[in-house]
Amino acid sequence: MTSPAQPTSRQAESSSAPIRSHAPIIARAAEPSARDGHAAFLAAQLPWYGLDAGWRGERRLGSLCADVDGTVQYGSLLHGDAPAGRPGGDPQRRAVTVVTMAPLPRRPALRPDGTARGFVEASTVASAAAVAGIGLVEEQWPWHLDVAVRQHWMDQQRELAAQVADRLGDLPWRLLTLSVDLLPQVFHYRESEYGWVLATATQHCFLAAYGRGVSAYSLAFTRVSLADYDA
């Protein structure tokens, strides 16, 4: 992901056409308020994963992304330094975001009024990789660009991150074995100018992460207690 993608046309939606599997996750996830953050994460009933006890830095709740009916697609837990006020303003930032994604089946894509507008494809490792890739890009948007140009750049980069995630078996992806719940787990892993992204499928969920300033090779993942994370 070294250069902006060329603009791509989006297929028009219809009531019978399937929705592209990554379409829902490109939308920005909602961040729970400090008051109900822990309650929202607990209500999702996902097996939340984060970095193991070897991580000595800060831990915070991230965001949740849900279907219209309230079913949580995924959520993120943040580790390390918070984003700078201006992206790129803190080149020494050390941060890792861990994404836990529910293994959801193919399901109707609903409008806010409850009517169907197609289908959302089942969650996959590629879905988790796309979420992580888009998250990494969104932390690095080019502040120096005009607002309109900046949004165009972001749209291109989100689309490119999703396209790269659909090709997990090809370069720039390679395999990396890390620890998950004290057992070896093979991840799909790639690096870019913005940082790194990795993703895998566990027995209970899809697991992904992205970060910068921290070597992915040094990390281990485990199911965590949300009580250890600030809202």
Q: What is the pLDDT of residues 100-152, one digit of tens each?
A: 999 998 887 777 777 777 888 889 999 999 999 999 988 776 667 777 787 78
Instruction: Please check whether residue 186 lies inside any domain of the structure.
Output: yes
- Quick check: is 196 in a domain? yes
- Tell which residue, 122, 206, 194, has the closest CA to residue 158: 194
Count structural domains, the chain. Answer: 1
**Buried b vs exposed e over 143-152: b needs ≥16 C-beta within 10 Å?**
eeeeeeeeee
Q: Within a domain: residue 11?
A: no
Distance between CA atoms of 3 and 54, rounded to whole angstroms? 35
Whether residue 10 is contained in a domain is answered as no
Residue 71 lies in a domain: yes
Q: Tell me the two tokens of residue 151.
A: 């949004």
Q: For residue 181, tell me if it sits in a domain.
A: yes
Residue 109, in any domain of the structure: yes
DSSP for residue 11: P
Residue 149 tokens read as: 């140009």
* Per-residue model confidence as pLDDT tens digits over 25-72: 544 455 554 446 899 999 998 999 999 999 999 999 999 998 888 889
Q: Does 76 fall in a domain?
A: yes
Q: Which domain holds residue 36?
A: 18-228
Task: Identify the H or E element spanning 224.
Answer: none
Is residue 108 packed enough to be buried (19+ CB in 10 Å), middle (13-18) or exposed (0-12)? middle
Reported as half-sphere exposure (CB side, CA atoms, 13 A), residue 72 has a value of: 22
